[in-house]
């Protein structure tokens, strides 16, 4: 009796308590609803949802580091970095596939610079993160609004294929997102840097007494977030076929929402990369669902908001055991 039963109840209860569970359940529920109500193919819905969702997931994975470090840290410059990168990438590549790698490095470099500026404003000038990153975001916006009329070209066919294509029915973007989420997960659990970020998010005084250089760690998280936003912008330009001033709009709250819905604590200290994936899928399919039921845009938003609140209320505050 005992051993098998104990073990399976152990596994079952661990799944039930897993912080990503509500997002996974939500994603499945919405997908099923879409499949029932809609008239497209079941897997087609999943495919497109996974592709679009992957972009949010990528920005979410970057934002995850900033939020996990706690202490009020958050990056509101994500949509602006993303948009700027779309423009810069389009301009640098200009349809020439050979230029993709150098352009990617340049874009990542710009992202790193912006992340450094964010971190400096917050750590040195002691600006509240919400204020500091938003201010940087507006400056970035001004830059790309200046730049945009002069940018022609697109990011080329290679990136376009990566962004829109797939292999045996699985979108490349989904694969990228999954691989990256796995990587982030490993970093958070198996690397010292990840431990330091999570320690900082749980208790800054304890972390500093344990010898963690909170300034450096925080700096690194902002750089990671901005770089991920910029590379996402590069890929997004491939998906959309160019750059426009508003392609980043939904990533402002989107990058934060998927972090929180995925089971991370907004106060920091707990992070869940797979949850970010599930939450991205959930949010993307949710928009599809509300589109399908043909209600006005306002009602759509109410329904989306209501479902998100419902989901959040089920992500309880149980202790997270990380071993």
Would you tell me which residues interact with other proteins (CB under 8 A)? 190-193, 195, 198-199, 202-203, 205-207, 209-212, 269-270, 319-323
Identify whether the C-beta of residue 133 lies closer than 8 Å to the C-beta of residue 76.
Answer: yes
Closest CB 315 distance from other proteins, rounded Å: 14
Nearer to other proteins, 64 or 103 (CB): 64
Q: Is 235 exposed, middle or buried (0-12, 13-18, 19+ CB in 10 A)?
A: buried
Residue 166, helix vs strand vs coil: strand
Q: For other proteins, give the closer residue by CB, 17 or 306.
A: 17
- Residue 218 beta carbon to other proteins: minimum distance, rounded to whole angstroms: 17
Tokens of 307: 């479902």
Q: Smallest distance from the beta carbon of 321 to other proteins, in angstroms?
A: 5
- Cα dihedral 204, 268, 216, 76 sign: negative
Instruction: Name which of 213 and 249 has its Cβ closer to other proteins.
Output: 213
Taking the least distance from each CB to other proteins, the nearer of 105 and 206 is 206
Backbone angles phi, psi at 320, to 5 degrees: -100, 125
Among residues 130, 85, 92, 133, the alpha carbon closest in space to that of 110 is found at: 85
Smallest separation, CB 70 to other proteins (Å)? 11
Quote the tokens at residue 248.
């980043």
The residue (of 189 and 300) whose beta carbon lies closer to other proteins is 189
DSSP letter assigned to residue 170: E
Give dist(CA 140, CA 137) in Å, integer: 5
Provide the angle, in degrees to the nearest 10, between the axes of the packed helices 273-292 and 251-261: 120
């Amino acid at each position: 009796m005992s051993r098998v039963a104990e073990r399976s109840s152990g596994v079952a209860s661990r799944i039930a308590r897993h912080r990503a569970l509500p997002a996974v359940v939500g994603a499945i529920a919405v997908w099923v609803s879409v499949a029932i109500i809609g008239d497209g193919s079941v897997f087609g819905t999943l495919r497109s949802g996974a592709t679009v969702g992957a972009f949010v997931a990528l920005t979410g994975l970057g934002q995850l580091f900033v939020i996990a470090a706690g202490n009020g840290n958050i990056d509101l410059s994500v949509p602006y970095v993303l948009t700027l990168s779309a423009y810069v990438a389009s301009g640098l590549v200009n349809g020439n596939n050979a230029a993709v790698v150098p352009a990617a490095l340049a874009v990542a470099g710009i992202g790193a610079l912006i992340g450094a500026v964010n971190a400096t404003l917050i750590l040195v000038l002691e600006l509240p993160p919400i204020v500091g990153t938003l201010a940087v975001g507006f400056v970035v916006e001004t830059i790309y609004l200046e730049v945009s009329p002069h940018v022609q070209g697109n990011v080329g066919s290679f990136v376009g294929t990566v962004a829109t294509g797939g292999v045996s029915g699985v979108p490349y973007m989904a694969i990228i997102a999954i691989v990256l989420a796995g990587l982030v997960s490993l970093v958070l659990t198996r690397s010292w840097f990840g431990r330091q970020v999570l320690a900082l998010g749980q208790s800054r005084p304890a972390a500093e007494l344990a010898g963690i250089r909170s300034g450096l760690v925080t700096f690194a998280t902002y750089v990671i977030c901005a770089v991920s936003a910029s590379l996402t912008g590069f890929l997004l330009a491939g998906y959309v076929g160019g750059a426009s001033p508003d392609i980043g709009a939904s990533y402002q709250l989107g990058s934060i929402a998927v972090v929180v819905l995925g089971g991370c604590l907004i106060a920091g200290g707990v992070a869940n990369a797979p949850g970010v994936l599930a939450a991205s899928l959930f949010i993307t399919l949710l928009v599809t669902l509300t589109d399908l039921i043909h209600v006005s845009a306002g009602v759509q938003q109410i329904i989306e908001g209501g479902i998100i609140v419902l989901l959040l209320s089920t992500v309880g505050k149980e202790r997270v055991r990380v071993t």
